[in-house]
Structure 1
Amino acid sequence: MKNTEFYPDDYDNFGRLRLPVLFWCILLLQARTWVLFVMAAASRQQGDTLLNLFYPDHDMFWLGLLPGIPAVAAFLLSGRRHFFSRLWALMRWLLVAAQAALLLWQPLLWLAGDPLSGIGVTLVMLDGFALWWLLSSRRLRACFQ
């Protein structure tokens, strides 16, 4: 019996492998500061309160935007990945590097004196899972080839 790695439903009408749903969730996880920025901009009156709740130190907010840049770029390129195939193939490794930076960032903040919180621990666990999945998913690897 022939073993196929992917089902026919995993392909779109043009024969390209569809990106997994978990990929989009990981993009949101990586771009969490960008999502917060958009939410704060959309709610003008409560925007400053929302930013102060998650980022009391405004310098950390601007630093938090940096690891989300590859996720935003991947989101923008995903619809036209066949036009930018070399850049798209590189994008997987940029996402892995950004995820590794996010995974290391929170423990470094704890070592610098930030209090240990449930949200921080949850984010570290989610970042660890996301990094593992970005590196181990065969379907995602095939989407970037």
Structure 2
Amino acid sequence: MKPSPVFSPDDYDSHGVLRLPLWFWGVLILQARTWLLFVMAGASRQQGESMLALFYPDTQRFWYGIALGLPAALAFLLSGRRAQWPRLWRAWRWVLLFSLLAALGGSLAGVWRQEDGAPLLDGVLALLDALALGYLLVNRRVRACFSDSAQL
């Protein structure tokens, strides 16, 4: 068995559970970007439809973004209950990785086709998705938060 990485005492909450890093929340926001846009469009009733049409002129891409953002939206809810559903929480890292991989594929396909006249936006999103994928794969603290040893 590999020794668990050593983290500072500030990385643990009052119950002795390893806290999720701040950048992890940024990755979830990146993944749930369509959901956030949907909520913002709903909050601004008069301009909501035009806002959605601006970012998603193709409704099929909107629904694709909603589906790929669902695991991140559920991770927000599940993160507070990870002690109650430890098996689901451990598996959820892989769900997030697969949804990020699919989002990266969609962004790269948009760059390849150069559709919607916004290859720059698709390129930036592809780069951010690739960085987020690498972060979830490599970061020791994120891996430790999703392992059995997150509670010491």
TM-score bin, normalised by smaller chain: over 0.9
Match of residue 46 from structure 1: 47
Q: Structure 1 residues 112-121 or 102-111, which shifts more? A: 112-121
Sequence identity (%): 51
Structure 1 residues 40-86: Cα deviation after superposition (integer angstroms, max 9, x where no partner): 00000000010000001112211211111110111001011100100
Consecutive unaligned residues in structure 2, runs of 5 or more: 148-152
| Residues 110 and 122, structure 2, Cα contact 8 Å, conserved in 1 | no
Specify the code of the residue in structure 1 equivalent to 2:133: L
Alignment of 1:1-145 (within 5 A): 5-114=6-115, 115-145=117-147
> What is the TM-score of this pair, normalised by structure 2?
0.89
- The whole-number CA distance in structure 1 between the counterparts of 2:138 and 2:28 is 16
Runs of 4+ that moved beyond 4 A? none
Structure 2 CA distance for partners of 1:112 and 1:118, relative to 1, 3 Å: closer
May I ask how many residue pairs the two structures share in their alignment?
142
TM-score by length of 1: 0.93
| SS at 2:46 equivalent | coil
**Secondary structure class of the residue paired with 2:80:** helix
Single out whichever of 59-68 and 46-55 deviates more from structure 2. 59-68
What is the CA distance between 1:117 and its match in structure 2?
2.6
Letter in 2 for 1:110: V
Q: How large is the Cα RMSD of the aligned pairs?
A: 1.2
Q: Which amino acid aligns with 1:144?
A: F
The unaligned stretches of length 5 or more in structure 1 are none
